[in-house]
Amino acid sequence: MDTPTDTPPDALLETRRTLHAAWQACKPDLQQRRADLERLRDALRAGVPAMDAAIRADFGHRSEHENLVSEVMVTLAEIDHTLKHLRAWSKPRKAAVGWRFRPGRARVLPEPVGVVGILSPWNYPVNLALMPLVSAIAAGNHVYLKPSEHTPRTSAWMRDLLEGVFPADRVAVALGGAEVGAAFAALPFDHLLFTGSTAVGRKVMAAAAPNLTPVTLELGGKAPAIVCPDYPLEKAAARIATGKWFNAGQTCIGVDYVLVDAARRDAFVAAMVAELKARYGTFEAPRDYTRIINAGQYARLRGYVDDARQRGLAIVEPFGTRAGDADARVFPPTLVIEPGPEAEVMQHEIFGPILPVLSYDSLDEVIARINALDRPLALYPFSHEDASVDRIVGKVLAGGVTVNDTLVHFGAHGLPFGGIGPSGMGAIHGRFGFDTFSKLLPVFHQARFAGSDLLKPPYTGRIDRMIRWLAK
């Protein structure tokens, strides 16, 4: 695999112009879109071994099975779902006109917007790049992709993959660091998607604003899990452990902290420790545990634990205080008990394998504590009582919800995926992604004989009476 080289910022605009000119000259029809997606599906399947090697090299190590689930399975499922429904999504949609405008008729035409820019992150470097690309291609657009510089081998692999599937004037890939990313966000795209942190999302939105580029932002936040008093602790611990330690917690919708009824807090901690030991054994060179992406992220996470220790908070380290390896960026699962709002682990999205555990006395208290923070990208209530679930979901507005599990709503292709407020704006996946990258063009067809022919001055007599009647 070639060593990635930065795309010169001056070349970005020229590439975007080339993509737009090619799109204007020959917009992909439905047959072309299907063929493109089928080739992408076949290429991804064939490229899994090289992809797996690239991701593991970028992370230092990531479980092959986590790669297969998070990068391959969900992306292939998105392609298959799109191919199955593409013809229906692309059809004109009938629209009501109301009796006042009859016998006219109306329809909505899903039209491609042009060139879609995609800024994808490092934590799931394949699926968070290719899934929106699938939607953009399905909608008939051309795509310019800028993957993360923090996973350079995977970004180079993806460049080679896409060059083998698409002509250069249909899909292009820009490689490079923050300077390239900033210049990319400032290009006059017809739509721009960014997935990443809230802080960078603000910068992307500001860069897009001079061009009035529509933006979809998939950001993050502190996603809570709430264990209600009726829910079994062992099952809650197992499902929350998956939502926390999959990819070593480097997941935008991963569980950021858990709230447990006060009487069972210590029992929950014990259940979680038992669950972690069942998963990772002695934690000596764990094969199924992902490393932290780089030294800077590792130091940030270590700082959160050091801050908690300095505050005198109880810290539970299931594999002992000497577990882990800073040089290899192995950060062991760590629980912080009852951190206050001033603790660093509660001030920031953790994005790593540290789990704050907090107790509560009532659901009203839970709801108030969550609503005191920014609206989260994900929410995870655990209860078999519909009243409790409905109360939480009705009082806490989040980007998405999975009840009695974690992460799963991301892979449900019939659901929109997106945030709200600081956790993002807009939605992707399935038909929602197709519509995001389409102009839903309203078209009104006037009848041969229409009442609007009478709506002209002078507004007297019969015209006056008709207008007054219509306006009632």
- How many helices (H) and strands (E) are present in the chain, helices listed first? 17, 16
CA distance 237 to 244: 10
Rounded to 5°, angle at Cα 91 from 90 and 97: 125
Hey, is 117 helix, strand or coil?
Answer: strand
Beta strands across the sheet bearing 93-95: 93-95, 105-112, 438-445
Distance of CA 5 to the CA centre of its chain: 27
Cβ contacts of 241-246, under 8 Å, gap ≥ 24: 241/272, 241/275, 241/276, 241/279, 242/406, 242/407, 243/380, 243/405, 243/406, 243/407, 244/333, 244/353, 244/355, 244/406, 245/276, 245/279, 245/289, 245/333, 245/353, 246/66, 246/70, 246/407
The answer to whether 37 touches 82, Cβ cutoff 8 Å, is: yes
CA distance 120 to 129: 5
Residue of 361, 362, 379 whose CA lies nearest to 370: 379
CA distance 326 to 320: 15
Residue of 426, 420, 436 whose CA lies nearest to 376: 420
Catalytic residues, by residue number, are 218, 252
SS3 percent helix, strand, coil of the chain, rounded to 5, is: 50, 15, 35
Write out the two tokens for 33: 């879109």
CA distance 314 to 316: 7
Backbone angles phi, psi at 406, to 5 degrees: -135, 155
Which residue bears the tokens 């990443």?
196
Which residue bears the tokens 């090619």?
22
Beta strands in 198-351 (DSSP E): 215-218, 224-227, 257-261, 314-316, 334-337
The answer to whether 233 touches 271, Cβ cutoff 8 Å, is: yes
Write out the two tokens for 65: 């099975």
